[in-house]
Amino acid sequence: MKDEINIFSPATVANVSCGFDVLGFCLESVGDNMLIRKTKKKGIYITKIKGDFDLPYETELNVAGVSALAMYQTLNVDFGFEIEIDKKIKPGSGIGSSAASAVGSVFGMNQLLGNPYNKTQLTQFAIKGEALASKCEHADNLAPAIFGGFTLVKSIVPLVILEIPSPSNLYATIIHPQIEIKTFEARAILPKTIPLNNAITQWANFGSLIHALHTNDYDLIKQSLNDVIVEPHRSKLIPYYNEVKKTMINAGALGAGISGSGPSIFSLSKGVETAKHVADNVSNLYAKTGIAFDVYVSKINTQGIQIIK
């Protein structure tokens, strides 16, 4: 069995407009690289962090460390693991930075152990790391990172994750304005109660989106990507949100919305050419704002987290 392994731990988009708190999808062109290595010394050690994000080396304070510990405590082994993180996804970006760290460690450890745990069990461990970052237990970024494609987290207790198929020609375009929104702050802005009528609209759209993904119906994806619950509140936290969304849709995107808790904004398009056109147009728009930003175009990553050969 190998003693070390290199991992690509992907960025992810959670919520996806109408699927707040339960739906997510996985990206292919953005993610962290991680190295997991068996050590003679027992325990979990964060030994290297690349990237200018001031992340803690203390295992109990590091997202990858906490999820690794959750798994490690179930093992009866006379060795330990060290973790190196090449952090490429900026924390607080809204594309699953903490989730990538949380799943990378447990996926890598599981590989080095001969895969004793299944994907749902790995998600269960990773939830502990994710909770450190976001102050609550959720899996809407973890699940797509581990399973790939689109995932629906049906429930957390018990943890039930559904893999939703998606059309093969679906691409995401994401703009990440370089401002930080903390997940727990984005949660605090949400109302505790919502109008029943809006909830009905939301689950009609959500059921419709699940149906559209099953039937490769791009037009129905377009009709379903609406969010009447969360977007009206959280979009206020994102500079030029409405202009970005309008630009993306005018450039041909099927729909656009807040990625996770923001500030990133995602769109979905049919075909890579349209997705690139969306990227060009939204880059032109945001260049005028004076706010630094990144733009990504990515196919939906149906494999999820993977070993780098």
CB nearer to its own copies: pick between 168 and 193? 193
Q: Write the interaction track for its own copies spanning residues 151-180; mark x where CB under 8 A is met and - where it is not.
A: -xxxx----x-x-x----------------
Stretch that binds its own copies, among 68-76, 83-91, 208-216, 274-282 (CB under 8 A): 208-216
CB nearer to its own copies: pick between 75 and 162? 162
Q: How far is CA 185 from the centre of its chain?
A: 18
Of 84, 59, 77, 22, the C-alpha closest to 229 is: 22
With a CB cutoff of 8 Å and minimum separation 6, the contacts of 157 are none
Determine whether 163 is an active site residue.
no
Phi first, then psi: what are they for 45, rounded to 5°? -130, 130
Using CB under 8 A as the binding rule, the residues of this chain from 54 to 113 that contact its own copies are none
CB nearer to its own copies: pick between 82 and 227? 227
Residue 131 as a binder of its own copies (CB under 8 A): the answer is no
**Is there a contact between 307 and 6 (Cβ–Cβ < 8 Å)?**
yes
Q: Write the interaction track for its own copies spanning residues 178-207; mark x where CB under 8 A is met and - where it is not.
A: ------------xxxxxxx--xxxxxxxxx
Determine whether 183 is an active site residue.
yes
Q: Write the interaction track for its own copies spanning residues 15-54; mark x where CB under 8 A is met and - where it is not.
A: ---xxxxxx-------------------------------
CB of 55 to its own copies, least distance (A): 30
Q: Kindly tell me which residue out of 42, 214, 236, 246 binds its own copies, with binding defined by CB under 8 A.
A: 214
Q: Which two tokens stand for residue 284?
A: 């032109």
Of 149, 167, 172, 168, the C-alpha closest to 248 is: 172
How far apart (Å, rounded) are the C-alpha atoms in residues 60 and 48?
Answer: 15
Q: How far apart are the first and last CA of the chain?
A: 15
How far apart (Å, rounded) are the C-alpha atoms in residues 197 and 181?
Answer: 29
CB of 166 to its own copies, least distance (A): 12
CB of 176 to its own copies, least distance (A): 25
One of 123, 151, 173, 183 is an active-site residue; which one?
Answer: 183
Amino acid letter, residue 152: L
CB of 193 to its own copies, least distance (A): 4
Q: Which two tokens stand for residue 158?
A: 């018990």
Could you say which DSSP state residue 165 is in? P
Q: Kindly tell me which residue out of 27, 126, 229, 244 binds its own copies, with binding defined by CB under 8 A.
A: 229
CB nearer to its own copies: pick between 26 and 34? 26
How far apart (Å, rounded) are the C-alpha atoms in residues 114 and 119?
Answer: 13
One of 130, 151, 173, 231 is an active-site residue; which one?
Answer: 130
Helices (H), 73-170: 97-112, 119-134, 142-147
How far apart (Å, rounded) are the C-alpha atoms in residues 25 and 292?
Answer: 25
Q: Which residues bind its own copies (CB under 8 A)?
A: 18-23, 152-155, 160, 162, 164, 190-196, 199-211, 214, 220, 223-224, 229
Q: Which residues are catalytic?
A: 130, 183
